[in-house]
Amino acid sequence: MKYPLYVSYEETENEVIAYCDAVNAVASGNTREGARASLLEAIAVMLDEYGDNVKGQLKEKVLTILEVA
């Protein structure tokens, strides 16, 4: 089963940080693409180690989009 995961990015002077709140994962890289690749690797490791727990967290998540004026 595939799970859509939302990722947010924060750019600092030295790096880009990628956050995935759904699985409490954080990674960084020199570029947005590098941070994304590092985050995907971190999530893959999490799934290998804690697969059922992580998948359980994803099934429990509910996404709500808020519109702010």
Domain membership of residue 22 (yes or no) is yes
What pLDDT does 28 receive?
Answer: 97
What pLDDT does 69 receive?
Answer: 66
Domain membership of residue 24 (yes or no) is yes
What pLDDT does 65 receive?
Answer: 62
Query: What are the tokens at 22?
Result: 């759904």
Element (H, E) at 9: strand 8-11
What pLDDT does 50 receive?
Answer: 82
- Along the 69 residues of the chain, how does pLDDT read in single tens digits? 677 788 999 999 999 999 998 888 999 999 999 999 999 999 889 888 887 777 777 776 655 666 776
Domain membership of residue 15 (yes or no) is yes
Domain membership of residue 35 (yes or no) is yes
The number of distinct structural domains making up the chain is 1
